[in-house]
Structure 1
Amino acid sequence: MNTKYARTRSSTPTASDLTTAVEAFVASGGVIAVIPEGETAGLATPSSARTQPAEEHRLELAGKVQQLKYLAAKGAGFTALQYSLRMNKRDVRRLATENGVTINLSQPLRTPSREALDDATDIDDVVAGHAMHYSALGYTASEIARILDLSLRQVLGIGKAYRFEFRQRQESDKR
């Protein structure tokens, strides 16, 4: 059974209690604003109280812009920027466009070397003969590429052009 008890005051506050409470509030550093007649409390608030959160917001935004520029210069993507700035993707994009910051969407991991772009047709018969010799000795294609200072693609191209296969490393060979 739920019994509800009403809260009752033992005594009603008097004017002297209110005066004592106000004096204690002012003594502890409190400030009481006097509202002119005809205005409401919302309109009569001091302007410094309104500008303080706006000032903090402006400083926080300036810090985020600086961090955005720094991270974008290092090549950070949207996910890293969202995590670092604690903003969603739309807000990061808006902040970047407002401040002229370009965000790289993707970057290649490694640019291919010039040798890797060449075909196997550029390799002479002597190098192909060396590749076949090392293959007969039991070297894998990656080892032959490292020994002959070629790319793996070039070594495999040699095998295709000269019609022979390179040894593949198997599980039993990894001892």
Structure 2
Amino acid sequence: MNNKSSHSSSHNTTPLDLSAAVEQFVAQGGVIAVIPDGETAESPMHLVAEETPVIEPDLEKSSKVELLKSLAAKGAGVSALQYSLRMNKKDIRQLAMENGVKINFSRPIKEPKKETHYDTADIDDAVAGHAMHYSSLGYTVPEIAQLLDLSIRQVWNIGKAYRFEFKQYRDGDTP
């Protein structure tokens, strides 16, 4: 894709432009610090670190407790609290227990399982025969399970009980 810009990129800066820009900067109140040879300038990180006010631990803890209470009342979970309070899970739980705050723990919603116990005793020979027939036609286990309204585990257990194997993949499929 060709992106063409309407602006010319061939603009060359001349020393006159640079000196004019410096004079304009100084005229507007800007200050240029000259660093003598052999010395280095102070890092801006040191200046920022010195300017930030130090918050007392008690004041910081009380502000975090208030934030914890308000976020927990809104239903925030531990992950959201970690992000907002900038604390790890252990410290958040400890702070919540110390101050009587209840944190909502959520779990993903899962579909109910069809059966917890898979047994071939409740499957009659006719269903097993159908499974063998579909297997000989080239159907895979998930397809057989869907056709017979069984779980995949039940179809595999039929194969074990009746001692026959199912195809793992279709002819065109790759493992």
Q: Scaled by the length of structure 2, what TM-score is found?
A: 0.53
Which one of the candidate residues 65, 78, 81 is aligned to 2:69?
Answer: 65
Distance 1:80 1:130, change over 3 A: farther
Task: Determine the structure 2 residue equivalent to 1:50.
Answer: none
Task: Determine the structure 2 residue equivalent to 1:143.
Answer: 143
| Bigger Rg over Cα | 1
Q: CA deviation at 1:110?
A: 4.0
1:82 is paired with a residue whose SS is helix
C-alpha distance in 2, partners of 1:136/1:84? 59
Q: Scaled by the length of structure 1, what TM-score is found?
A: 0.53
Q: Aligned residue pairs: how many?
A: 120
Distance 1:161 1:96, change over 3 A: same
Distance 1:89 1:60, change over 3 A: closer
Cα RMSD of the aligned pairs, angstroms, is 3.8
C-alpha distance in 2, partners of 1:89/1:116? 33
Which structure shows the bigger proportion of residues in helix conformation?
1
What per-residue deviation string (whole Å, max 9, x for no partner) do you get for residues 74-106 of structure 1? xx5xx56423432123321212323252565x9
1:115 is paired with a residue whose SS is coil
Q: Gaps (5+ residues) in structure 2?
A: 1-36, 39-57
Q: CA deviation at 1:63?
A: 2.4
Q: CA deviation at 1:136?
A: 0.8
Distance 1:62 1:100, change over 3 A: closer
Identity across aligned pairs (percent)? 50
What per-residue deviation string (whole Å, max 9, x for no partner) do you get for residues 28-82 of structure 1? xxxxxxxxxxxxxxxxxxxxxxxxx94x86455222223245134xxx5xx5642
Distance 1:119 1:112, change over 3 A: farther
2:132 is paired with a residue whose SS is helix
The one-letter code sitting in structure 1 at the alignment partner of 2:143 is E
C-alpha distance in 2, partners of 1:116/1:150? 13
Q: How does 1:21-100 map to 2 (within 5 A)?
A: 54=59, 58-68=62-72, 70-72=75-77, 81-98=81-98, 99-100=100-101
Once structures 1 and 2 are overlaid, which stretch shifts more, 124-133 or 112-121?
Answer: 112-121
1:122 is paired with a residue whose SS is coil
C-alpha distance in 2, partners of 1:97/1:65? 11
2:150 is paired with a residue whose SS is coil
